[in-house]
Chain A
Amino acid sequence: MLLRQGVLVALLAAGCQRQTPGALGRIGVNLIKVSAGTYRIGVAGNSRNPAREVSLGAFRIADAETTNAEFTRFIEATGYVTDAERAGFGQVSREGMPDWAWSEVPGANWRHPHGPDGISAAALPNHPVTQISGADAEAYCRWAGGRLPTLAEWEVAARAGAATRWPWGNAFEVARANVWNGEDHQRNTAEDGWKLTSPVRSFPPNAWGLYDVIGNVFEYCADLPPNVPAGLGATLIAGRGGSWWCSAGTCSFYNLEDVGVMARHGSLSNQGFRIVYSQ
Chain B
Amino acid sequence: MTARRVALFVSILAGGACLCLAEGTSAAKLLDGVIAQPGHWNQMCSMPAPLPPEVPLPLYSLAAERNFNVSDASIEKLGRDRAEVVKELRSRLKFADLNRAAHGRSHGIGAESGQDPRQFSGLMLSIIQKLDAIETVPELLNIEASLDLALAASRPDSRKVFPGLDLDSPVAWSLERNTNGPKVSVQVFTARVLQRETLAIIASLLRSQKYTPLLESKMERHYLEHLREAATKPPLQDIKTPADIPENMREWVTFDPVHNLPCVKTRGYESMPYSPALRLQIRGWAEDYLKAHPELAR
Q: Do A and B share a complex? A: yes
Does the CB pair B43–A98 fall under 8 Å? Answer: no
Does the CB pair B45–A231 fall under 8 Å? Answer: no
The verdict on B44 contacting chain A, using a C-beta distance below 8 Å, is: yes
Q: From DSSP, what is the main secondary structure of chain B's interface residues?
A: loop
Does the CB pair A104–B44 fall under 8 Å? Answer: no
Q: Which residues A67-96 have CB closer than 8 A to chain B? A: 83, 86-87, 91, 93-94, 96
Does the CB pair B114–A101 fall under 8 Å? Answer: no
Does the CB pair A261–B40 fall under 8 Å? Answer: no
Instruction: Say whether, besides A91-B41, A102-B40, A251-B46, A261 and B252 are in contact (CB < 8 Å).
Output: no
Q: Which residues A223-240 have CB closer than 8 A to chain B? A: 225, 227-229, 231-232, 234-236, 239
Does the CB pair B111–A218 fall under 8 Å? Answer: no
- Which residue from chain A places its CB closest to the CB of B267 in the assembled complex? A100
The verdict on A154 contacting chain B, using a C-beta distance below 8 Å, is: no
Number of A-B contacts (CB under 8 A): 121
Instruction: Tell me the minimal C-beta distance from A134 to chain B in angstroms.
Output: 10
Does the CB pair B248–A96 fall under 8 Å? Answer: yes
Does the CB pair B39–A104 fall under 8 Å? Answer: yes
* Size of interface on A: residues with Cβ below 8 Å to B: 52
Complex partner residue of A47 from B41, B177, B246, CB under 8 angstroms: B177
The verdict on B108 contacting chain A, using a C-beta distance below 8 Å, is: yes
Q: Which residues B33-84 have CB closer than 8 A to chain A? A: 39-47, 67-68, 71-73
Does the CB pair B46–A265 fall under 8 Å? Answer: no
- Which residue from chain A places its CB closest to the CB of B103 in the assembled complex? A231
The verdict on B104 contacting chain A, using a C-beta distance below 8 Å, is: yes
Does the CB pair B45–A250 fall under 8 Å? Answer: yes
The verdict on B174 contacting chain A, using a C-beta distance below 8 Å, is: yes
Instruction: Tell me the minimal C-beta distance from A108 to chain B in angstroms.
Output: 13
Instruction: Say whether, besides A104-B40, A186-B235, A268-B44, A236 and B249 are in contact (CB < 8 Å).
Output: no
A184, B236: Cα distance in complex, Å: 13
The verdict on B278 contacting chain A, using a C-beta distance below 8 Å, is: no
Looking at A83, A98, A227, A265, the one whose CB has the most chain B CB atoms below 10 A away is A98
A248, B170: Cα distance in complex, Å: 21
The verdict on A253 contacting chain B, using a C-beta distance below 8 Å, is: yes
B252 cross-chain contacts in A, Cβ below 8 A: 97-98, 101
The verdict on B234 contacting chain A, using a C-beta distance below 8 Å, is: yes
Complex partner residue of A271 from B44, B71, B251, B253, CB under 8 angstroms: B44
A84, B46: Cα distance in complex, Å: 20
- Which residue from chain A places its CB closest to the CB of B114 in the assembled complex? A235
The verdict on A131 contacting chain B, using a C-beta distance below 8 Å, is: no
Does the CB pair A253–B173 fall under 8 Å? Answer: no
Instruction: Tell me the minimal C-beta distance from A240 to chain B in angstroms.
Output: 9
A242, B103: Cα distance in complex, Å: 28
The verdict on B180 contacting chain A, using a C-beta distance below 8 Å, is: no
The verdict on A188 contacting chain B, using a C-beta distance below 8 Å, is: no
The verdict on A133 contacting chain B, using a C-beta distance below 8 Å, is: yes
Does the CB pair A184–B251 fall under 8 Å? Answer: no
A270 cross-chain contacts in B, Cβ below 8 A: 43-44
A96 cross-chain contacts in B, Cβ below 8 A: 246, 248-249
Instruction: Say whether, besides A218-B44, A229-B173, A261-B170, A101 and B251 are in contact (CB < 8 Å).
Output: yes
The verdict on A263 contacting chain B, using a C-beta distance below 8 Å, is: yes
Does the CB pair B235–A47 fall under 8 Å? Answer: no
Looking at B41, B71, B110, B252, the one whose CB has the most chain A CB atoms below 10 A away is B41
Query: Interface residues, chain A, CB within 8 Å of chain B?
Result: 47-48, 83, 86-87, 91, 93-94, 96-104, 133, 135, 184, 186, 218, 225, 227-229, 231-232, 234-236, 239, 242-243, 245-246, 250-253, 258, 260-268, 270-271
19 A/B residue pairs, CB under 8 Å, sorted by A: A47-B174, A83-B110, A83-B111, A91-B40, A91-B41, A103-B251, A218-B44, A227-B174, A227-B177, A251-B46, A260-B44, A260-B47, A261-B170, A262-B41, A262-B43, A263-B42, A264-B111, A265-B108, A265-B109
Q: A218-B44, A251-B47, A264-B111 given; name 8 further pairs at CB < 8 Å.
A: A104-B73, A228-B173, A234-B106, A251-B45, A263-B41, A265-B110, A266-B41, A270-B43
